[in-house]
Amino acid sequence: MSIEDVQRWPASLLDIELCLLMGAEEDKHRPGRVMYGDKSMFPKTYSTDISNAREAQAKAIELDAIMYLKQLSASVSNQSYEQVQEYDLIQLIEVVRLLQATPRQIAEAAYLTLKG
């Protein structure tokens, strides 16, 4: 499956599919809902809520950081995964470190940037 395929999905499908990959199970009795243990719930909104998206991002980085960065780059730049295959590995490793910054590190960098 390509980034182009996933970009054609409605947000609701992307959210459900991510929930399943993050450990939920499909609720076979209530379409559009997922099961967390024995509770049926609406899926997390990974495609519209930044904190949920960061949760999925963290798991993707844990699984394969370089692949995640290439997929993200393909999505943001509207290129295919194959077009971003040649990115420099050293630069990608540094980007992973930046994506894993703590809230404190992010706040410090924001303060210093805004302060000028």
pLDDT value of residue 11: 93
pLDDT value of residue 43: 96
Q: 85 or 55, which is more confident?
A: 55
The length of the chain in residues reads 116
47 CB neighbour count, 10 Å cutoff: 17
* 76 Ramachandran zone, left/alpha/beta (phi>0; psi -120 to 50): alpha
Residue 87 has pLDDT above 80, yes or no: no
pLDDT value of residue 89: 72
Average pLDDT, rounded, for the chain:
86
**pTM: predicted TM-score of the whole model, two decimal places:** 0.79
Mean pLDDT on 7-32? 94
Residue 16 has pLDDT above 80, yes or no: yes
pLDDT value of residue 65: 85
Mean pLDDT on 109-113? 75
